[in-house]
Amino acid sequence: MIDTEREAGEAALRSKNKEIEKKKRSRVKQLLGDVRRQVDFWFGDVNLHKDRFMKRLIEESDDGYVDLSVLASFNRMKKLTCDTKLIARALKNSSVVEVNLEGDKVRRQLPIGDVPNDVDGRTVYVELLPKDVTHSWIEKVFTKCGNVVYVSIPRYKTSGDPKGFAFIEFEKGEHAQKAIEMLNNPPEDAPRKPGIFPKMQRGKPLPQPADNPPPAEKSKKSEAGPND
């Protein structure tokens, strides 16, 4: 009886340990994927056509290689990891960059492509964003319209706070058009246009003017002459 209970306890412990290891592997896999996507973005054409700092860093380096320690010092990478060995491991399967033999530097696999001439047609302007808006939040909201390839959130130089608007570049023009249609033609039951977010003050939304004036105002405006 005692042996049976001990065996059952050991089996339960082994099962628990396996589950812990499974979750750990899943977290590591997710982290490696996040690191690879971030580096691929930094070295991708879309970003390098706009990011003068990153482009200069590549152009001024030896053979286009950038130290992984430099990437590890960037704020976005700090949120993921500062381990350069883990970064190198994450980039083994990248289709955008390659790591040197020493495993301490990375560069693009191919030369930077030409700047496309259809960027404006694939870019959407969105305003009245939340004060704590992030790139990942915007991507999550607008991915339903298509593949988001670049997000620009202008910020105030003094405080670093977002200015309340953003530019969203999609992979294709039809994706941008779909986003525009979503913003301009919200569902009838939507409280306000999707993507047009209320301004906040002390955590509470500020009252917004009605989208349409009351009937009395409409009739008054229609009776007024062009010079009134």
**For the domain that residue 40 is a member of, what is the CATH number?**
1.10.10.10
Q: Of 108, 135, 167, which residue sits at a domain end?
A: 108
pLDDT at 99: 97
pLDDT at 186: 54
Supply the pTM of this predicted model. Answer: 0.67
The pLDDT tens digits for 41-52 are: 999 999 999 999
| 140 and 166 part of one domain | yes
CA–CA separation, 77 and 98 (whole Å)? 18
Lowest mean pLDDT among 45-59, 104-118, 180-194, 208-222: 208-222
User: Which residues is 151 bridged to in the sheet?
Assistant: 168
**For the domain that residue 176 is a member of, what is the CATH number?**
3.30.70.330
pLDDT at 188: 53
> For residue 192, is pLDDT > 60?
no
CA–CA separation, 138 and 183 (whole Å)? 14
The pLDDT tens digits for 89-104 are: 999 999 999 999 999 9
Cβ neighbours for 34, distance < 8 A, ≥ 6 positions apart:
80
pLDDT at 2: 61
The pLDDT tens digits for 101-135 are: 999 999 999 999 999 999 999 999 998 888 889 99
Nearest in space to 107 (alpha carbons), one of 54, 49, 171: 54
Segments forming the whole domain that contains residue 140: 119-183
| 46 and 99 part of one domain | yes
User: Which residues is 204 bridged to in the sheet?
Assistant: 201
Q: Of 82, 108, 134, which residue sits at a domain end?
A: 108
The pLDDT tens digits for 71-84 are: 999 999 999 999 99
> For residue 196, is pLDDT > 90?
no
